[in-house]
Amino acid sequence: MARTKVPTPHPKLTVSQKIARCEKFRALTDNVNNACAAYMREVLAISKKHGRSERWVRHQLYLGGNVSKKSCRPNTWNAFVHQRLNDINENLAKGEHWKLMEFVEAHKGTLLSHYSVLTPAQKMRYKDEVTQLHVKKQQTARDNPRGVQCDMEASFDAMDKEWITLSYHLGIEGIFIAVRGGVDDLSGPRLFFTNKAEKFARAVLDLEPHRLALKLEAFVITRLDSCAALTQAPSHGLNQLVSKCHSIIQEGLAIIIKEKYQNDSNVRMNYNNYEGSIVERYGVALVGWPDNLLPV
């Protein structure tokens, strides 16, 4: 006779237990969100106070990617001995100061006697002083670029998957390029091209996708964006430029006529009969104006 396996019954949560677990989860989520908001407020405050970018401040506050100098745990006895040593050395000349080992060896009995009568509150105060001193002296030895790079790679991998999913479900085509913002950054260019976008880059821009990313990286790092306005096309149309030239020439003609003839009459520029109406009559000529552009 075959043995049948009876499923083990698992206890089910009651309604009150489910509600309690939901409330616990909501409280945890709220605490995490509040901590993130407080972190961002602190980042903004430090950034505004010291004139640093938010990205730089977040990078400095990233504890998971830093290697810090570690110190030993605060010791109440050491703090007590150092305090007594400093008190005695304050009243001595510079060359007569006690050394730590000599001081402990010479006054060990007295130090032990005084230390034994300290109250817990006094010992805690010594411990707090040492802790604060360690916090002030603690410095970041170096950044961990490998940790930062791993986080960045994971973020971009997730973004690549999102791009692929959007392109597949929505049928969209696009280009995504991310490059480093300065020479101090260690990340290389990251790019994502759909099939049609890649064909566009090669056929229209005549560039390989990776070469386009390198050009963008060079443009950003060399800060060519600051002088890009010099090479941009004029914002005014041809008719507006011609009208502006007419106004400048008319203003110059009025100033010359007023200074030469002491006359406030409104003399209009005559482009159709420029030689007779302007040059011969008033003795005024356009200097440096191309002859083939007259009349305008």
**Residue 51, SS3?**
coil
| 3-class secondary-structure state, position 66 | strand
Asked if 126 and 150 sit in the same domain, the reply is no
Q: Is residue 203 part of a domain?
A: yes
Give the whole-angstrom CA distance, residue 64 versus residue 147.
8
Structural domain boundaries, residue 183:
146-222
With CA atoms as reference, report the closest residue to 290 among 274, 278, 276. Answer: 274
Question: Going residue by residue through the chain (296 aa), what tens digit of pLDDT does each one get?
Answer: 445 555 666 667 788 888 888 898 888 888 888 888 888 888 888 888 888 888 778 777 765 444 444 556 667 888 888 888 888 888 888 788 888 888 888 888 888 888 888 888 888 888 888 777 776 665 554 556 676 777 778 888 888 888 888 888 888 888 888 887 776 666 778 888 888 888 888 888 888 888 888 888 888 877 666 655 545 555 556 677 778 878 888 888 888 877 777 766 777 887 788 788 888 888 877 776 655 554 44
pLDDT of 220 reads 82
Query: d(Cα 67, Cα 16) in Å, to the nearest integer?
Result: 46
Q: Are residues 22 and 61 in the same domain?
A: yes
Between the CA of residue 47 and those of 20, 43, 63, 116, 274, what are the distances in Å?
Answer: 40, 6, 18, 48, 63
Q: Per residue in 228-242, pLDDT tens?
A: 554 555 555 667 777
Instruction: Decide if 228 is inside a domain.
Output: no
What percentage of the chain exceeds 90 in pLDDT? 0
Q: Is residue 166 part of a domain?
A: yes
Based on the fold, state whether residues 136 and 150 are members of the same structural domain. Answer: no
How many domains are contained in the chain? 4
User: What is the rounded distance in angstroms from the CA atom of residue 222 to the CA atom of residue 180?
Assistant: 11
Centre a 10 Å sphere on the Cβ of residue 57 and count the other Cβ atoms it contains: 19
Element of type H or E holding 175? strand 175-178
Q: Which two tokens stand for residue 294?
A: 């007259």
What digits encode the pLDDT tens for the residues 85-113? 888 888 888 788 888 888 888 888 888 88
pLDDT in tens, 232-274: 555 556 677 778 878 888 888 888 877 777 766 777 887 788 7
In a domain, 5, yes or no: no
Spatial distance between the Cα atoms of 154 and 148, rounded to a whole number of angstroms: 10
